[in-house]
Structure 1
Amino acid sequence: MKINVFADTICGWCFIGHRNLNTALKKFPKVKFDIKHIPFQLNPDMPAEGILRDKYLEIKFGGKDYAAPMYENMKLKAKETGINLNLDKIKKTPNTVLSHLLIILSEQFNLQNEVKEKIYQSYFIDGFDIGDMNVLISIARENNIAENTFKEFINEKNIQNVTSKILIAKEKNINGVPFFEIGKDFISGAQRSIQLETVIKANLN
């Protein structure tokens, strides 16, 4: 069964959705899933070097205090999924193109699930800058992807490929992530694993 997951690596709801999808998939041990990561950028105009977290919250929400209710809700939902978000550790909001490229590369080695999980953990739990090449190289190495393999993958053609996939989401009128295309159905938002499981089951019949 084919599942397309539209997500951004700095999206906390996407991290929750990622975990919930993995929980749902465990209910179908005999089913072969073809899961594709489709890049999405919440901030397509983000400078390559990213911006300081406080400045980002100011631009996006009008300041930290205005963002607080949404993040508190996210923390609660994350805890239900077994994730303890450390949002206070995040000092910079990065550009996510390089992290998307690492996930796409990792699909060649069937490691996209592990790499995606580690990218989310690095950002939301450890507070690392996942726009930093050294952080991503470390994640690649941890998953037995050679540094040179990753560096060679970062070229104009592949960067344009990420950009074109982001445009696919716009053409489909996907304005928020995570967004799952499961068989013939789609499901929007960080839905609980039981809801994802129901949609998967419906598409097996």
Structure 2
Amino acid sequence: MKIKVFADTICGWCFIGQTRLNKALKAFPETEFEIEHVPFQLNTDMPKEGIERSKYLEIKFGGKDFAQPMYDRMTEEANKEGLNFNLDNIKKTPNTVFSHLLIKLAERSNVHNEVKEKIYHSYFVEGLDIGDKEILINIGKEFNINADVINDFFNLKNIEEVNSYTSVAREKKVSGVPFFEIGTDFISGAQSSTNLENAIKSNLS
């Protein structure tokens, strides 16, 4: 069964949603799943080098104090899934194009799920700049992806392809992420593992 996951690598709810999907998949040990991670950019106009997180919070929410209640709730939900978010570690909000490219490249060796989770962990737990090529190369190397291959893959043609997914999402009326395409079902938001499980079940029958 094919499942498409629209997500951005700086989206905490996407990390939570991915964790819940993983949990749901375990209920179907006999089923072979093909997971496609569809690039989605929450900030399509983000400068290549990213921006300081404090400035980002100012632009997006009017400051950290206004964002805090939403982040507190997100951290609480993450904790329920065994994810220890440490948002204070994050110093920069990155441009996520290169992180999406690494996930796409990882499909070739079928380690895209693992690479994506490592990118999430690097950002939300360790506070690393996942827009930084060197950090992404180090992540890739952990999964035996050659540094030169990664560097070559981070080219203009592939960047443009990642950017083109914006219109794919628009066509499907995806306005927020995570967004799951499970067979004929479309699930928006980091819904429970049970909801995802039910969607899988109904598409298997």
How high is the TM-score relative to the length of structure 1? Answer: 0.99
SS in 1 for 2:144: coil
Show the 5 A alignment for 1:1-205: 1-205=1-205
Task: Provide, for residues 50-100 of structure 1, a one-character-per-residue CA deviation record: whole Å limited to 9, x for no partner.
Answer: 000000000000000000000000011101111010000000000000000
Counterpart code for 2:93: T
State whether residues 38 and 166 of structure 1, in contact with CA within 8 Å, keep that contact through their aligned partners in structure 2: no
SS in 2 for 1:137: helix
Identity %: 63
Counterpart code for 1:81: E
Per the TM alignment, residue 155 of structure 1 is displaced from its structure 2 partner at its CA by 1.4
Q: Partners in 1 of 2:95 and 2:180 — Cα distance? A: 23
Per the TM alignment, residue 166 of structure 1 is displaced from its structure 2 partner at its CA by 2.1
Q: Partners in 1 of 2:31 and 2:151 — Cα distance? A: 34
Q: Report runs of 4+ in structure 1 exceeding 6 Å deviation.
A: none
Q: Partners in 1 of 2:23 and 2:143 — Cα distance? A: 21
Of 97-106 and 158-167, deviating more is 158-167
SS in 2 for 1:35: strand
Aligned length: 205
State whether residues 53 and 93 of structure 1, in contact with CA within 8 Å, keep that contact through their aligned partners in structure 2: yes
Per the TM alignment, residue 153 of structure 1 is displaced from its structure 2 partner at its CA by 0.8
Task: Provide, for residues 25-54 of structure 1, a one-character-per-residue CA deviation record: whole Å limited to 9, x for no partner.
Answer: 111111111110100000000000000000
Task: Provide, for residues 84-130 of structure 1, a one-character-per-residue CA deviation record: whole Å limited to 9, x for no partner.
Answer: 10000000000000000000000111001110000000000000000
Q: Partners in 1 of 2:156 and 2:48 — Cα distance? A: 14
SS in 2 for 1:28: coil
Task: Provide, for residues 8-37 of structure 1, a one-character-per-residue CA deviation record: whole Å limited to 9, x for no partner.
Answer: 000000000011001111111111111101
Per the TM alignment, residue 161 of structure 1 is displaced from its structure 2 partner at its CA by 1.0
Of 93-102 and 145-154, deviating more is 145-154
Q: Partners in 1 of 2:79 and 2:168 — Cα distance? A: 32
Segments of structure 1 that go 5 or more residues without pairing to the other structure are none
Segments of structure 2 that go 5 or more residues without pairing to the other structure are none
Q: Partners in 2 of 1:116 and 1:62 — Cα distance? A: 30
Q: Partners in 1 of 2:50 and 2:167 — Cα distance? A: 21
Of 142-151 and 165-174, deviating more is 165-174
